[in-house]
Amino acid sequence: MARGPLITREVEALILSVHYEHPKWKAKEIRSVVRGMLREKSQNQPELLPKLTKGWPSLGAVQGILSPLRKGRTKPNPKDQPWSFAALVGDYPIPADAMPTVMSIYKRVLSGERELTIREAQWVARLHRIFDDLDLLWDWALQYALSEWVSEITHNLFDTTDLDLELVRNPQYATTSREELERWGAIMDIAKKYGAGLDESLDFVVQFIGSGLTLGEIEEIAKSGRYKQEAQNERKHKAKRESRKR
């Protein structure tokens, strides 16, 4: 018998997005972060997501989505290889007027111990005239590159309508999305660093994701061990609330 609602395209995309941002994470870690993000979204916008049930999405469902990537059953796309000038003489030319911006982004990405992919360089080139702010340009290039990548992995039509509307209505959307995902990952890493298991890590992340505390302040709490007691208290309060509902 299936546990919980079927995995929707939106949830599948979220799982793949977390993997894209944290390719070295195991399925258990990705599932924990995805569950936390869904929990938060279901509280803020309950009409947009099915009611979360215990254990959903299951670890098996997450592993099933990631399996083709992990086992090499998905044919690698050359666009996901590191970008270099050699790509310009192949199938991925970039207009000359976009090259200064691409090189600026290339330099920034390399300084962060990451590589710019051909796909990402193409999106930088496509969007470079829209943004004067290089950070905002990079955030949007990542959003479009990720959306394109997910559509290829899931064999769904590549439709940017929602992203296009966000770009027009809320230009900071891409930055907010990146920062949110990075913060989830950073808090998860802090919890694991101080001995939290996966369930404890998720409780820890949910507890502090919207707290407004800096990562340094959150780490001090984790280091002191207070998160364990606070997480236990939160679980007790939650159990009491659920018992009242019954």
The residue ranges of every structural domain in the chain are 1-74, 78-170, 172-246
SS (H, E, C) 43-103: HHCHHHCCCCCCCCCCHHHHHHHHHHHHCCCCCCCHHHCECCHHHHHCCCCCCHHHHHHHH
Does 171 score more than 50 pLDDT? yes
At residue 54, φ and ψ (nearest 5 deg) are -60, 130
Type of residue numbered 198: L
Tokens of 200: 């404890």
CB 184 within 8 A of CB 201: no
Three-state SS at 226: helix
**Tens of pLDDT along 175-189?**
988 888 888 888 888
| 5-10, long-range: CB < 8 A, 24+ apart | 5/50, 5/51, 5/53, 5/56, 7/57, 7/61, 7/65, 8/50, 9/154, 9/156, 10/49
Q: Categorize the per-residue pLDDT at 1 as very low, low, confident or very high, splitting at 50, 70 and 90.
A: very low
Q: Categorize the per-residue pLDDT at 236 as very low, low, confident or very high, splitting at 50, 70 and 90.
A: low
**Tens of pLDDT along 195-222?**
877 677 777 877 787 778 899 999 998 8
| Mean residue pLDDT across the chain | 82
At residue 141, φ and ψ (nearest 5 deg) are -60, -40
What global pTM score does this model have? 0.73
Tokens of 73: 């059953």
Q: Which residue has the higher pLDDT, 151 or 227?
A: 151
